[in-house]
């Protein structure tokens, strides 16, 4: 069973069998506007929790995407190089950025669940 957790910087991670799939939330995509470019990390890159992992550029601004947990990048979503707009239409699905082998599963447990994230987003308005 997959679990999904969220950061205060609006990244999400879906964990299945020790592999994390990482992307940005629909809230983040809405704040950025139409995404026109995505710079992904290299496969094999070691990520530190909270450190820059990727970059997105939208019609409004460029923004860093941080690693929600520490680990090693095992795969990147090559589709985003040719179709960055996938993030605009399916941020929580096909618009994922990268997959990673999680170094410390405890870091996932310390992230927000869906209810806590929703409450956090509502507190921002």
Q: pLDDT tens digit string along 53-79?
A: 999 999 988 999 999 999 999 999 999
Residue 4 CA, distance from chain mean position: 11
Q: β-pairing, 52-58 with 3-6?
A: unpaired
pTM of the model: 0.95
- Tokens 């990520």 belong to 47
Q: Are 65 and 73 in contact (CB under 8 A)?
A: no
- The domain 3-104 is placed in CATH, from the list 2.40.50.100, 3.40.50.720, 2.60.120.10, 1.10.10.60, at 2.40.50.100
Is the pLDDT at 10 greater than 80? The verdict is: yes
């Amino acid at each position: 069973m997959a679990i999904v957790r969220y950061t205060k910087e609006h990244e999400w991670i879906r964990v299945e069998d020790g592999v994390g799939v990482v992307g940005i939330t629909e809230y983040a995509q809405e704040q950025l506007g139409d995404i026109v470019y995505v710079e992904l990390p290299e496969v094999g890159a070691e990520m530190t929790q909270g450190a820059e992992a990727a970059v997105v550029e939208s019609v409004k601004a460029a923004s860093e995407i941080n690693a929600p947990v520490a680990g090693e990048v095992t795969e990147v979503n090559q589709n985003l190089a040719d179709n960055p707009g996938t993030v605009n239409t399916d941020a929580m699905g096909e618009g994922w950025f990268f997959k990673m082998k999680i170094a410390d599963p405890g870091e996932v447990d310390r992230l927000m669940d869906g209810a806590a994230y929703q409450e956090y987003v509502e507190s921002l308005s």
